[in-house]
Structure 1
Amino acid sequence: MSYVIATPEMMATAAFDLARIGSQVSAASAVAAMPTTEVVAAGADEVSAGIAALFSAHAQEYQALSAQAAAFHDQFVHTLTAAARWYTATEIANAAAMRVVLGAVNAPTQTLLGRPLIGDGAHGTAPGQPGGAGGLLFGNGGNGAAGA
């Protein structure tokens, strides 16, 4: 079974890495353009001229395909970057909605027992203060503060 993990940070990093790779490939293609598209015949005979023309034609076709691939790559990076932004916005919206639901679920338990049903405890802030209790069903206790 396959598991896929994706986070907004991972997607943004992938988009940045892909953009960097694309610029390096484009730079290498640009450097190779002149020497490969204008191949000089090795000799003054017809065969040398024909082979040079053939290599130049192949190089020109490569440059055309490379330009199309670069355009596709740029669009892919743009789409991946936009997806990471939308993913981040969705995560923020969902987290806000979950806080409201979690507050409603925890309110009765917090009122009756002084502890949440679900959630992590608060971290201690004053020197030597213990961390708060975690949720009854789910959650970790908070970290205590450093000693005096």
Structure 2
Amino acid sequence: MAAAGNLEAIGASMNAGNAAAAAPTTGVAPAAADEVSALTAAQFSAHAQMYQAMAAQAAAIHEQFVNTLRTNAAAYASAEAANAASAQ
């Protein structure tokens, strides 16, 4: 159960970092009024949007993993308790 809690804290930290980076990275303003600056800013914004989409998928997978780990830890503890009770 402790491992699941640690992983949950890591996931929360990653989610907070991704959320903090979302606005400044997806809304990059062009450095100047020329086409190259506009295209470069658009490239950075597009890349950041793709990253945010992948980060959201990774967060969902991480959450599923933590939930599975918690469920299996509880099942293991229950089985251990049942085995200990039957051994007495």
Normalising to structure 1: TM-score of the pair? 0.59
Gaps of 5+ in 1: 1-11, 100-148
**Alignment partner of 1:40 is 2:29:** yes
Give 1:31-110 correspondences, 5 Å limit: 31-99=20-88
Greater share of helix: 2
C-alpha distance in 2, partners of 1:13/1:89? 16
Structure 1 residue 22: deviation in Å? 0.2
Rg (Cα) greater in structure: 1
Structure 1 residue 97: deviation in Å? 1.0
Query: How many percent of aligned residue pairs carry the same amino acid?
Result: 56
Which structure would you say has the larger RCO, counting Cα contacts within 8 Å and 6 or more residues apart? Answer: 2
Report the number of matched residues.
Answer: 88
Taking only aligned residues, the RMSD between alpha carbons, in angstroms, comes to 0.3
Per the alignment, residue 17 of structure 1 pairs with: 6
Q: Which runs of 4+ in 1 moved over 6 A?
A: none
C-alpha distance in 1, partners of 2:17/2:39? 26
C-alpha distance in 2, partners of 1:20/1:14? 10
**Equivalent position amino acid for 1:16 in 2:** G
**Equivalent position amino acid for 1:27 in 2:** A
